[in-house]
Amino acid sequence: MSYYVYENWQANGHHARVHHGECSYCKHGQGAHPGSGDKNGQWHGPFATVDAARAAPLRHSDATRRPCGHCRPH
């Protein structure tokens, strides 16, 4: 299984969500809107473990990291 992190820097406080690659919001790092560019955020990955995804360096180191509310990777 692969894991991805979506970092959103347009949201208040910057946030990052960890997803299973198969998640319908992730689609293996393509997101729900493939080709939408990086104006609002960026996908990181794939990562082999959820721990590696949680530890991934992000553009904004202060981003709040949480699991996706839909796929809830552990």
Is 73 part of any domain?
no
Percent with pLDDT over 70 in the chain: 99
Is 41 part of any domain?
yes
- Rounded Cα distance between 10 and 68, Å, is 17
Is 72 part of any domain?
no
Is 52 part of any domain?
yes
- Give the model confidence (pLDDT) of 44-57 as tens digits: 999 999 999 999 98
Query: For position 11, what pLDDT does the model report?
Result: 66
Show the beta-strand stretches assigned E in 2-74. Answer: 3-8, 15-20, 41-47, 64-67
Query: For position 71, what pLDDT does the model report?
Result: 95
pLDDT band at residue 39 under the 50/70/90 scheme:
confident
Which residue is associated with the tokens 């299973």?
Answer: 20
- Give the model confidence (pLDDT) of 12-32 as tens digits: 778 999 999 999 999 999 998
- Rounded Cα distance between 1 and 19, Å, is 11
Domain that holds residue 12: 3-67
Q: 60: alpha, beta or left, given left = phi > 0 and alpha = psi -120 to 50?
A: beta
When divided into structural domains, the chain yields a total of: 1
Q: Using an 8 Å Cβ cutoff, are 1 and 20 in contact?
A: yes
Is 74 part of any domain?
no
CA atoms within 13 A on the CB side of 3: 22
pTM, rounded to two decimals: 0.89
